Amino acid sequence: MNNQNPSIYGIGNPLIDIVIFVTDENLKSLEIEKGVMHLVDENRQTEILSYFKDYELKYFPGGSAPNTMLACAGLGIPTLIAGKIGQDDFGEIYIRQAEKYGVISGLVQGDGATGSSIILVTPDGERTMNTYLGMCREFSENDVDEAKLAQSKFFYFTGYMWDTESQKAAIQKAILISKDNDVQVVFDVADPFAVDRNKDQFLKMIEQDVDLVFANHAEIGILFDSTNVEVSTDELMKIVNRAGIKLGKKGSLVLENGTKKTLPPRPISAMDSTGAGDMYAAGFLTALSHGFVSSRAGEIGGFLAEEIIQQSGAQFELKKMQELKSELIK
């Protein structure tokens, strides 16, 4: 990985993604709630993998924020991934795969297992994640590279980093560094369960510390106790100046300085929703890094999200990334 100064500094959970195509009946048999991210221990993960031992398994470098950072790097933006992995086979695989995208390394190796996520994809393209965080949980404020963060334009993180006190302390330190150095703080809410567990903390943080929010309709619905997107986005605009809101098959919204712009979707056939939110954030941040206005950033984010759900897996191949870069960044 290269060592230049990043434009985007991201902290997240570097995970090996294990993608399996399943049925709704499989989920019911395993008593797994569909469409959300479940935190599991090693034993539960072994149990799930044993159930699917005769299925085809595909492996990808993953984790929500790292997926976004890999894509930003692949699209030509100097981008750093910070996170903790193990000194094991999965850790080495992760490093080798990430290097291909040209990211700046902020990865720290600890004495334990690299985290992994079993992603169960049903025929409707919905993803259900079962995540064992492993060493990710140990990422701490001591692992934040203050010098590189201070020189960045954007600091990016997700709601998944609120799972341990150690991770939370790291994020809080990074926010303070960002605010002291005019680095824009970008928060991707990332998951309805994360919102449910940390609603009050998220609302306070968005209002006091965040410059740009990414969320989907379900997440802002929980944040503001409303199933009406108009109501919840009105409330969100009261506490943050800029946001990208993902509406699934209805496209997306860009909120900025009290205004809303609706961006309709393209007619496509979804194969696998894994990584849609991550690619939306990558497109949005890449566009902002090039100086594009927020509405154009929302269009590029939506385009990347629509592209990724037409394939299997949460990340583009490098050849596809180069094609997208040529097509979108003009």
Look up the pTM and report it. 0.88
The average pLDDT across 34-43 equals: 89
Least confident of 47-56, 77-86, 95-104: 95-104
At residue 184, the 3 state secondary structure works out as: strand
Answer yes or no: is 136 within a domain. Answer: yes
Strands (DSSP E) along 40-152, which ranges? 58-62, 79-86, 104-110, 115-121, 127-132
Residue 321: give the domain boundaries: 8-328
d(CA 327, CA 223): 36
Answer yes or no: is 217 within a domain. Answer: yes
Q: Is the pLDDT of residue 1 over 60?
A: no
Q: Which of 103, 41, 100 is nearest to 68 (CA)?
A: 103
Pairwise pLDDT comparison (224 vs 305), residue with the higher score: 224
CATH number at residue 263: 3.40.1190.20
Q: What is the pLDDT of residue 294?
A: 95
> How distant, in Å, are the alpha carbons of 22, 320, 325 from that of 265?
27, 21, 20
Instruction: Read off the pLDDT band of 249 (50, 70, 90).
Output: confident
Least confident of 33-42, 146-155, 292-301: 33-42
d(CA 68, CA 314): 10
Q: What is the pLDDT of residue 330?
A: 67
Answer yes or no: is 115 within a domain. Answer: yes
Answer yes or no: is 13 within a domain. Answer: yes
Q: What is the pLDDT of residue 320?
A: 81
| List of residues 6+ apart from 152 with CB closer than 8 A | 5, 6, 7, 8, 9, 80, 178, 183
Answer yes or no: is 2 within a domain. Answer: no
What string of DSSP letters covers 236-278? HHTT-SEEEEE-GGG-EEEEETTEEEEEPPP----S--TTHHH
d(CA 293, CA 254): 11
Q: Is the pLDDT of residue 274 over 80?
A: no
Answer yes or no: is 312 within a domain. Answer: yes
> How distant, in Å, are the alpha carbons of 131, 161, 193, 267 from that of 170?
20, 9, 21, 41
Mean pLDDT in the chain? 91
> How distant, in Å, are the alpha carbons of 129, 146, 163, 257, 301 from that of 240?
29, 25, 24, 8, 19
Instruction: Read off the pLDDT band of 322 (50, 70, 90).
Output: confident
- Tokens read off for 236: 């969100």
d(CA 271, CA 290): 30
Q: For residue range 172-220, list pLDDT tens digits in order.
A: 999 999 999 999 999 999 888 889 999 999 999 999 999 999 999 999 9
Answer yes or no: is 3 within a domain. Answer: no
Q: What is the pLDDT of residue 265?
A: 79
Q: Which of 48, 42, 43, 41 is nearest to 20 (CA)?
A: 48
Q: What is the pLDDT of residue 317?
A: 74
d(CA 319, CA 279): 16
Please give the tally of structural domains in the chain: 1
Q: What is the pLDDT of residue 12?
A: 96
Question: Cα Rg for the chain, rounded, in angstroms?
Answer: 18
Q: What is the pLDDT of residue 230?
A: 94
Q: What is the pLDDT of residue 90?
A: 84
- Parallel, antiparallel, or unpaired for β 104-110 and 115-121? unpaired
Q: Is the pLDDT of residue 38 over 70?
A: yes
Answer yes or no: is 267 within a domain. Answer: yes
d(CA 2, CA 169): 27
Q: What is the pLDDT of residue 308?
A: 77
- 226-229 own/partner pairs: CB under 8 Å, 24+ apart: 229/253
State which H helix or E strand residue 188 sits in.
strand 184-188
